[in-house]
Each structure stands twice: as structure tokens, then as C-alpha cells.
Copies of this chain bind each other. A is one copy, B any other.
Amino acid sequence: MSTRLSGMTAQPPPPAVGEGSTADDGLDVVDGLVQLSFHIQAVLAQVAADHDLSITQIRLLGILRDRDAEMLQLAGHLGLDKSSVTGLVTRAERRDLVRRVPSPRDRRAVLVTLTSQGRRLTSDGERRIRDRITTLTAGLTKTEQGTLAALATRILRVR
């Protein structure tokens, strides 16, 4: 989890693994992926913090961009306990970013929907993240960016 991470602006955190054994030349693929992952997380945390949000809250709002969702769906997508989602949604609701509405499907259930303020913040957040990561990859050629995207897609499909 992540809570709001100030003070992580200029230097992304080094990864837990490989820190002491990182070659000062290129990294092997495992170290490279781990360090890259933390770097991307630091970008996400920075953008989240700029909006007074955590990474998990940004993810919650991102899920709700295209569709309303019930609590258990959110729990599944986020990989969290349902009680954690109760807390997340309550805090987002308090910020007027989401609203709980009764589900027509089941009187026990609620649908979580973005408010217009939540929609604006989510759009802005996604744009900033996209900008930051585009800047990160600007040193690569378009072909290299395409290769990276293709390799990432291949890895993600093996799951």
C-alpha cells in the first residue's frame, strides 16, 4: 500500500532486490524489471500525491472511469479484502470523488459511481501519469517503444 508519498520526487527508490549487486553496466532482465517497476511506482505515487491521493485510490478511480462497479468487483480488481474496499470508497466518498448508489440487482449491494469531480480528477491524473511516463520513454525511438510495449504485453499475457 501505498499511502501518500511525499519526498519521492527526484530520485525513484532503488529496488529491494539487486541494489547491492547491480552491475554498473546494464542490468540483467530481472533487476531491470524490478528497478523499472519501482521507478514507475514512484511516478504513480508522485502524481497521486499531487492530487492528495494514494496509488490505490488512483487505481480505484481508474477502474470506475468506464463503468460503475459493485464493491466485490472493485475488491477483485484491486486484489484487496472487501473491508479494505469499504474504507477506500468511504474515504473517496468523503472527498466527493465517488458515490454509492443502490444496486437494482440486489438490495444488499451498492454500485460505486464516479462523481463529476471524481471524473475530472481521474482524467487529470491519467493525463499526468501518461505525460510523466512518456517523458521517461522519450529517450527511446518509436521502434524501441513499440518493442517495449510488445514485450510487456507478452509478459502480461503469461498469467
Among B20, B130, B134, which residue has its beta carbon within 8 angstroms of that of A65? Answer: B20
Overall SS of chain A's interface: helix
For the complex, what is the distance from the CA of A126 to the CA of B26, rounded to whole Å? 19
Kindly identify, within residues 42 to 82 of chain A, every residue whose CB is under 8 Å from any CB belonging to chain B: 42, 44-45, 54-56, 58-63, 65-67, 76-81
A40 contacts across to B, CB distance below 8 A: 33-34, 36-37
Among B20, B60, B129, B154, which residue has its beta carbon within 8 angstroms of that of A140? Answer: B154
Residue A8 CB within 8 A of the other chain:
yes
Q: Contact at B17–A129, with CB atoms within 8 Å? A: yes
A30 contacts across to B, CB distance below 8 A: 129-130, 133-134, 137
A33 contacts across to B, CB distance below 8 A: 36, 40, 133, 136-137, 148, 152
Residue A147 CB within 8 A of the other chain:
yes
Q: Contact at B12–A159, with CB atoms within 8 Å? A: yes
A27 contacts across to B, CB distance below 8 A: 149, 152-153, 156
Q: Contact at A147–B147, with CB atoms within 8 Å? A: yes
Of chain B, the residue at the smallest CB distance from A130 is B30
